[in-house]
Structure 1
Amino acid sequence: MLTDPQTCMAAVRSRDARFDGWFVTAVRTTGIYCRPSCPATPPKARNITFYPSAAAAQAQGFRACKRCRPDASPGSPEWNARADLVARAMRLIADGVVDRDGVDGLSRRLGYSTRQVERQLRAELGAPPLALARAQRAQTARILIETTTLPLTQVAHAAGFGSIRAFNDTIRAVFAQAPRELRSKSRVSDVGVDVGGAWHHLQLRLPFRRPLCVDNLFGHLVATAVPGVEEWRDGAYRRTMRLPHGPAVVALRPADGYVAARVWLRDLADLPVAISRSRWLLDLDADPEAIDAHLATDECLEPMVRAVPGRRVPRTVDGAELALRLVIGQQISTRAARTHTARLVEAYGAPVDDPDGGLTAMFPEPAALAAASDETLAMPRSRRDTLRGLAAALADGEIDVSPSADQDRTRQQLLALPGIGPWTVEGVAMRALGDPDAFLATDLGVRQAMSRLGLPDSGRAQQARAEPWRPWRAHAIQHLWASGPHEINQLPGDEGAQHE
């Protein structure tokens, strides 16, 4: 995390929004912490303490600024780029693991002792796992308090608080106001919640760092969308999700400076997870200016980066689903892969009654595909065996393909399975594990793009030529793919790049 005083102070004085989410600025004379871009007059340096996380500032008794709302900034891009223990822990905390399974559950998922996890998080972020999870609950609660008409008792439940007392105490400590005071000063007419019927419906805004290239991000998701599970409707990418407490449907629409999210939930306790996975899907916590600046140092990539900045890596809301879909799509076209996958969804996917119509099912669970019949697996025998083998390993928990996985271990385990090669492994690493340096060297689109640019397109020469793109080779691939005429590069009916 960034806590060098001189760099942090320079960011505060220039109100540089690029540093929002990297650190918070706590002012001892006011007891308030802010984001670096806070529009208020910068305080004197002698009165400032920089903290690596909001949780650390809260632990020292500071409360969130009412003007710049530091809890509403994008998350740190560190957790996108890193694969160490702290980054993996932060991704699990964002996914609600501490709220569901406690710190012991977090430690088990990471494969370390509770003492080791707490020590490393304290050392780097200034706060233990419980405090970090508490800060996330406070952020979710504030969103619900200020943007919905949901009863406060249900807000507490949705944000993950175990009791109304803990909810009230935390909101007062973090925001210096009681929940009812926050709501009385907010505008709830813009977005709301419908708690009628079997679904809870919420509308939210997901912030990101500019620029954001919309066309390849949403275009990729739409071009590969599986009927019944995903769709493009009225300018929004919609899909079903399997969350800890039940099914969900999300609709994500690019807007001016944010992504508009509509969420339908069976259980409001799944809201933080739905938000976290939607942000992960769209790579919204990335630092596009830093990534573009690095890639633009390459003479071949520079024109593409300058022409279309802010490309993100389209990811997934479910690592197991992504891994299985990549196997289904081995050596066939995008359209054929959609057709095969749609048949499996119809046969084995749990039905969903989409409250807005259009979607019909969740993607099948690995156990269902592990036992799938030959009749429903319309593919060569070798690929059927590969699909069943991977599905069985995922169902048994032998292989972890979540964002919090040990990336090296997962790569090795996948390669050990018959029928899975580097293309599938690197695809999982890029879109499920979130490795920003994943490189699909054997991908046809990558090879064709490098050939068009006059670059070596195979073997050691190809790997050596891509070496300067590290640690952002996954982002370089987005530019390479976009250099060719493929439907993944633009939204339906759109021509040219769109940016926010």
Structure 2
Amino acid sequence: MQTGGVIADHALTWSPAHPTDLLQTLAGLGRGGGDPTLHIDAAGAVWRTTLTDDGPATIRIEQRSPGELRCLGWGPGAATAVEAAPELAGGLDDPSEFEPRIRLIDDAHRSNPGLRIPRTGRVFEALVPAILEQKVITLQAHASWRRLVKRHGSAAPGPTPRPMHVVPSPSGWASIPSWEWHQAGVDPRRARTIVNAARYAARLEEAVRMSPADAAARLTLLPGIGVWTAAEVAQRAFGDADALSVGDYHLSNYLGHALWGRDMTDDEMLEAMTPWAGHRYRVVRLLGAAGVRGRPRRGPRMSFVDHRAI
């Protein structure tokens, strides 16, 4: 099959084991509008770039019907990326033992039956943007991500509907000069964390085959990577439906108000979420997909910090 006049290097069609809404499932992988690694085209297909062990790849996944997905791939890593597409689309996510327990979550689950937890299988690829999002507003982190990937990544293979890029290799991230981090609005602490993690990228990738606890321990051994960052990686790279982002600026109060009508500390949130152990991140995704609101915004928001002016 060809797209845009270019024949795909590899293709795969499959029927998911569980109901799957492709756009809902993959929405959490994007890093804001203009993300150079992910795009949804006019037909509703998802284009994504990745750096596999075999090289860069671009894939296009479309939902041909409620029970059928198709992936096309281009580039040296296309075979690997296409083969992993069912997992990317939540193929390993089994919601059969999930018990909503309360009406609000049950309604969210019923109204979003195709929301799966995706699994990219690429640890360092998920780690870099998570580090960029530490202690800054999301818009600022996304702007840094766009600039760095566009300047230091490679052009995406295949007939992409708009210019897209593949993330730099770990050595590429490690070789970004200090002034480039500065111009991208990334402070020295976050830049050092990424550069140091790049040196151990191969060891970090091993975490995809570990238990959740062992994977978190491997990630948090590195300076600058705490439980929040490890959870953000687990949600995307491992497809961990239980990875709760403890330490998030908003999450404890969001869940506290959405489910119990009050502010909560992280410790209170962890205790209150115990009934959904194994699916706590799923609960967060379902509430978000259902448009459930949390705490009214009364306090100050995090400020944009222009590190280029420091």
- Please, what TM-score do these two structures have when normalized by structure 2? 0.79
Which of residues 462, 466, 474 is equivalent to 2:281? 474
How far apart are 1:205 and its partner, in Å? 1.9
User: Separation in 2 of the partners of 1:228 and 1:392?
Assistant: 24
- The aligned residue for residue 416 of structure 1 is 221
Match status 1:313 vs 2:120 = no
Which of residues 16, 30, 55 is equivalent to 1:208? 16
Where structure 2 has 5 or more consecutive residues not aligned to the other structure, the ranges are 295-310
Which of residues 219, 234, 241 is equivalent to 2:50? 241
- The aligned residue for residue 262 of structure 1 is 72
Q: Give me the CA root mean square deviation.
A: 2.9
Maintained 8 Å contact 1:319/1:428: yes
Residues 241-250 or 420-429, more deviating: 241-250
Larger relative helix fraction: 1
How far apart are 1:215 and its partner, in Å? 4.8
- The aligned residue for residue 85 of structure 2 is 278
How far apart are 1:255 and its partner, in Å? 2.9
How far apart are 1:348 and its partner, in Å? 1.7
How far apart are 1:431 and its partner, in Å? 1.5
How far apart are 1:323 and its partner, in Å? 0.7
The 1:402–1:349 alpha-carbon spacing in structure 2 relative to 1, beyond 3 Å, is farther
1:431 is matched by which residue type in structure 2?
A: R
1:349 is matched by which residue type in structure 2?
A: G
1:233 is matched by which residue type in structure 2?
A: D
1:421-440 equivalent positions in 2, closer than 5 A: 421-440=226-245
The 1:255–1:222 alpha-carbon spacing in structure 2 relative to 1, beyond 3 Å, is farther
1:225-240 equivalent positions in 2, closer than 5 A: 227-234=35-42, 235-240=44-49
Give the structure, 1 or 2, with the largest relative contact order (CA under 8 Å, sep 6 or more): 2
Which of residues 346, 354, 369 is equivalent to 2:158? 354
User: Separation in 2 of the partners of 1:310 and 1:281?
Assistant: 14
The 1:338–1:206 alpha-carbon spacing in structure 2 relative to 1, beyond 3 Å, is farther
Residue 20 of structure 2 aligns to a residue whose secondary structure is coil
Where structure 1 has 5 or more consecutive residues not aligned to the other structure, the ranges are 1-191, 487-500
- The aligned residue for residue 37 of structure 1 is none
User: Separation in 1 of the partners of 2:100 and 2:293?
Assistant: 22
Residue 376 of structure 1 aligns to a residue whose secondary structure is helix
User: Separation in 1 of the partners of 2:210 and 2:33?
Assistant: 25
The alignment covers a number of residue pairs equal to: 285
Which of residues 156, 164, 169 is equivalent to 1:365? 169
Residue 48 of structure 2 aligns to a residue whose secondary structure is strand
Identity of aligned residues (%): 22
1:314-333 equivalent positions in 2, closer than 5 A: 314-316=118-120, 318-333=122-137
- The aligned residue for residue 252 of structure 1 is 61
User: Separation in 1 of the partners of 2:156 and 2:112?
Assistant: 38
- Please, what TM-score do these two structures have when normalized by structure 1? 0.51
Q: Deviations over 1:233-279 (max 9, x none)?
A: 12111022223433321111223112222222447xx52x2233222
